[in-house]
C-alpha cells in the first residue's frame, strides 16, 4: 500500500510539472530581488510587473526601492542594499572603475530631453550659449547634454552647466524661471513642456540610448534564475503596456512612481521593447566619452560590461 501511495504521489508530481510548464520551483524557493528605480519611464514596466502580479506568477518577490537622484541610487547599490537598478552606462563604468563589479543585463527605453524655460527665446541648442543649463554631474544627463552640444558643433564649455542632482528640483527650478534650460528624463521633460516650457531636442533624435538595467556581478552569479524570472515578468509587463491604452493604468503609475498628476495627460509612452541587450555603439561611444573626459582610466569593452542572460 505504501509503495502504491508513493507511486501515485510521484505521478501527480510529474503531472503538476507538465501542467505548470515543467517548473520545479516551489513557492518561496526563489530569493528576493531588490531593485532601485528612478522617477522615469524606465520604471513603468517594473511597476506594472509588480502590480499585475507577473513577478508573483514567476515565483519571484521583488522589492522596489524609489530614488530621486542617481547619486543616492548608486550609493545604495554599492552599500549592498540593492541587487540592481535602472541605470545607465556611465554609472556602470564608474562602479567598475571604483572596484565594484556590476553587469549590464538589458537596455531600457529612457529618453532625455533638453527643455528651455517658458520665458526663454530659444529654438535650438545654439541659443543656449552662455546660459545656465541644469544637469546632474558625470551622469547620463551630462553625457546627453554634451552629445547635444557636439551635434551642433558647440564646445562643451559654451553653456554654463548648473549641477542639480535631484530630478524634481531640476524640474521645479526650470518651471520657476530660475534656469534657461535643463536636461530631464521622461516623464519630467514632457511635464515641463505641458507646463509651458519649450522642447528643444532629445536623445531619441540623436539616436543614442545609454540607459540600461544593471545588477551586481554577485547577483548575476548567485541569482541567475531569479534574474531570468524577473525578465520573463518584465516581458509580460511590456506586452500589457503595448496592448492597453495609457488611460487604463496611468493612475496606478502616478500612485506608485511619484510622478506628478499632470503626467497622466502630458506623457506619451514609447512602444516598449522586450528585454534585450544594448547595442555595441551605445556602449562604445559612452566609454569613449568617459575616457576623453578622464572620468575613467580603463578602456572597457562591450564584453567587459554586458552579460547575456537570454541565452
Show the 3-state SS of 254-291: HHHHCCCCCHHHHCCCCCCCCCCCCCHHHHHHHHHHHH
Instruction: Please write the tens of the pLDDT for every residue from 139-198.
Output: 889 999 999 999 999 988 899 999 998 888 999 999 999 999 999 988 899 999 999 999
Instruction: Please write the tens of the pLDDT for every residue from 268-296.
Output: 898 999 999 999 999 999 999 999 999 99
Helix residue ranges, H only, 88-187? 89-97, 140-151, 167-175
Between 83 and 167, residue with greater pLDDT:
83
pLDDT of residue 32 exceeding 50? yes
pTM, entire model:
0.81
The mean per-residue pLDDT over the stretch 251-270 comes to: 88
Cell numbers placing 229: 524570472
Confidence band for 27, pLDDT divided at 50, 70 and 90: very low
Catalogue all structural domains in the chain, each as residue range(s) with its CATH number: 30-110+210-305 (3.40.190.10), 112-206 (3.40.190.10)
Q: Which letter, b or e, does each residue of 2-20 get, where b requires 16 or more Cβ atoms within 10 Å of its Cβ?
A: eeeeeeeeeeeeeeeeeee
Amino acid at each position: 500500500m505504501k509503495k502504491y501511495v508513493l507511486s501515485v504521489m510521484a505521478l501527480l508530481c510529474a503531472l503538476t510539472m507538465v501542467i505548470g510548464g515543467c517548473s520545479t520551483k516551489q513557492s518561496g524557493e526563489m530569493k528576493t530581488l531588490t531593485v532601485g528605480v528612478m522617477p522615469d519611464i524606465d520604471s513603468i514596466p517594473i511597476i506594472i510587473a509588480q502590480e499585475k502580479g507577473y513577478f508573483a506568477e514567476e515565483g519571484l518577490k521583488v522589492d522596489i526601492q524609489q530614488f530621486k537622484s542617481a547619486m543616492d541610487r548608486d550609493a545604495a547599490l554599492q552599500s549592498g542594499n540593492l541587487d540592481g537598478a535602472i541605470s545607465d552606462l556611465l554609472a556602470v563604468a564608474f562602479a567598475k572603475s571604483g572596484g565594484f563589479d556590476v553587469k549590464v543585463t538589458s537596455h531600457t527605453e529612457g529618453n532625455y530631453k533638453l527643455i528651455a524655460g517658458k520665458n526663454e527665446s530659444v529654438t535650438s541648442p545654439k541659443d543656449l550659449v552662455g546660459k545656465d543649463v541644469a544637469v546632474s554631474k558625470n551622469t547620463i544627463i551630462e553625457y546627453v547634454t554634451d552629445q547635444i552640444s557636439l551635434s551642433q558643433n558647440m564646445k562643451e564649455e559654451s553653456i554654463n552647466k548648473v549641477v542639480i542632482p535631484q530630478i524634481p528640483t531640476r524640474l521645479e527650478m526650470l518651471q520657476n524661471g530660475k534656469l534657461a534650460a535643463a536636461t530631464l528624463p521622461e516623464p519630467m521633460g514632457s511635464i515641463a513642456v505641458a507646463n509651458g516650457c519649450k522642447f528643444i531636442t532629445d536623445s531619441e533624435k540623436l539616436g543614442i540610448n545609454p540607459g540600461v538595467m544593471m545588477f551586481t556581478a554577485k547577483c548575476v552569479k548567485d541569482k541567475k534564475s531569479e534574474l531570468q524570472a524577473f525578465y520573463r515578468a518584465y516581458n509580460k509587463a511590456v506586452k500589457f503596456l503595448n496592448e492597453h491604452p495609457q488611460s487604463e493604468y496611468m493612475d496606478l503609475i502616478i500612485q506608485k512612481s511619484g510622478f506628478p498628476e499632470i503626467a497622466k495627460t502630458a506623457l506619451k509612452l514609447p512602444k516598449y521593447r522586450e528585454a534585450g541587450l544594448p547595442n555595441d555603439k551605445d556602449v562604445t561611444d559612452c566609454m569613449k566619452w568617459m575616457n576623453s573626459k578622464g572620468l575613467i582610466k580603463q578602456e572597457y569593452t562591450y564584453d567587459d560590461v554586458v552579460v547575456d542572460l537570454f541565452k
